[in-house]
Structure 1
Amino acid sequence: MKLAETDESLDAFHEYLNFEKEKDDPARIQSFYDRMLDKHLDDENIWFDYGQWCETKLKIHSITCRVYKRAVRHCPYSCALWQQTLLALERSGSPVEEIDGMWISAQETISTLEDGRALYRTYLYMLRRRADATDKDFQKMTLVFEDGAKALFPSEGVLGFVR
């Protein structure tokens, strides 16, 4: 096929990936995503697509979480990948300590106001669901909200991000 001739071409990779997806063999699809990532390790779109495929088609939480953890290790600048990682961990029933540890790592990568708002919002919604499902104690949510307000809006009337 065309792939052997154009080993580095993303278009050829995507064409072949679609071919594999039509065959619907999960092992081959996973293997091919890994092959794509060997050549394009810092392509957040491939990581995002791989994670989404794992969530919607493969539906094995441990693999989905592993893919997203690898994704944020190679694309730590991607707000969308951090959000998906946190949500995948929550859906998989991962320990609260693991999710909270991942949140700390995600916070350290915030570089824009927009990303900061998106990540804080994702984590705050997770904390709300956690409180609703357990003891109804929203204190941690309040503290994280206040931390986000201070980090994203360091002084009244000034937009910015301070870390």
Structure 2
Amino acid sequence: MAKFNFIQIADPQVGMFARASGMEGVDQERKNLETALRQFQKIDPAFVVVCGDMVDTAGDDDQITLIRETLGEYGAKVPVHWVAGNHDIGVNNLIPDRESVDMYRSEFGDDYYAFDHAGSTFIVLNSVLLDQPQNLLDEHKTQMDFLGDTLLSRDTLNLSMLLYSCIILCF
């Protein structure tokens, strides 16, 4: 198995700074992301994983555009893997429904999937749906079937699960 580096970030939550500070726009968050990207270049990662809460408000075009353009620019050099967080996929930041899941998928791609790199398997799960399945029991079952099938089909001991968890929602 080849050695490699990857970067995992979580909770960039573009839009939260403006909401919390009363400032307009996302300029400060753009600067923060650009600073992070400069640090990424020192590591030379094989890929980047963003573990949830890419945006503060699901469906906000300005927030989505900033995170996708900024990390997408870096993603032209290495793959960027998105992991759904409650602010990305939950109605009122909590419970996903058909519309919120469809919106997430149109903005960031699949909300659960697997990818392989250098002999390792990474499984990305939609933990928001796993925690709050009541509106989408069929999606919950499909994701659980995917997880079981993926675990059974991989012939590797190097397996990682990538998901988002908002600790305060766990209590």
Category of TM-score, reference length = shorter chain: 0.3 to 0.5
TM-score by length of 1: 0.43
Whichever of the two has the greater Rg, that structure is 1
TM-score by length of 2: 0.42
Larger RCO (CA under 8 A, 6+ residues apart): 2
